[in-house]
Every structure is written in structure tokens, then in C-alpha cells.
Amino acid sequence: MSEKIKPCPFCGGKGGATNHPRSHFDKDTYEHIGTEVVCNVDCIDCGASTASGDAGSATREEAIAIWNHRPREERLVKLLREAKESLVTLQLISTHAPACRYRATLLAAIDAALKEET
């Protein structure tokens, strides 16, 4: 089963996986020595691509994994989970009413943000 392609990290546009031929040439004679098919994910709005110069992924799954890899987002999700854990722990030891309402608001916001990531 194919993994869902995330929106473009630059413009939010739709990404699509496509196969492209990649030719190989002899370095000395410049003779064509072969062609292979590679897969890239490209944004249909801004043109961002997993391809970099000569690069391409051997499989659709690899291209999608490269496109979907967002280290900054993954780090933020980790931090949100840690913050949620801290708030839940604090909720167990504090009964101050205004703080409890504030924590509930924060927990709801964190849950909504984490839900978007799944």
C-alpha cells in the first residue's frame, strides 16, 4: 500500500509521484550507456522536487519517504508530546482552578496539533 504524500513543505501545494527516465553516459566518450527509470515527487504548484540534479529514487516508496521526511516537524511533534506529558503530570499535582482551565486549553490545542500529524 502506498504512503500518503504530504503537502509541499514550501507552498502547501499538492505533491505527485512520477517516473522519469534517467540516462547514463560514458564520462570519456559521452556515449549513451543506458537508461533507468527513477521516481520523484514534485509539487504541481511551485515545482519543488525530491530530484536534485541527477538524483532520483529507485522506487515510488523511497521518493515518497524522502518527500514526507520533515525533520523540523518531527521534532516539533516530539516536543508537543513532551509538553503534553508535562501538563498531564502537573494536572495531577495542582488543583488551582485558573491553572487547571489554562492547562485544559493547552492540552486541547496540543491534541489538535498532534491529530493533524496523524
Q: Does the global pTM surpass 0.85?
A: no
CA 81 to chain centre: 18
Position 2 in a domain: no
Domain boundary among 48, 69, 90: 69
SS3 category, 75:
helix
* CB-based contact 81:111 (threshold 8 Å): no
Interval 50-63: pLDDT, tens: 876 556 667 889 88
Interval 66-116: pLDDT, tens: 899 888 888 888 888 888 888 887 766 667 777 777 778 888 888 888 887
76 and 112 in a single domain? The answer is: yes
62 and 85 in a single domain? The answer is: no
**Which domain, by its residues, includes 36?**
15-69
For the CA atoms of 47, 54, 61, 116, what is the dihedral angle to 10 degrees? -40
63 and 23 in a single domain? The answer is: yes
65 and 95 in a single domain? The answer is: no
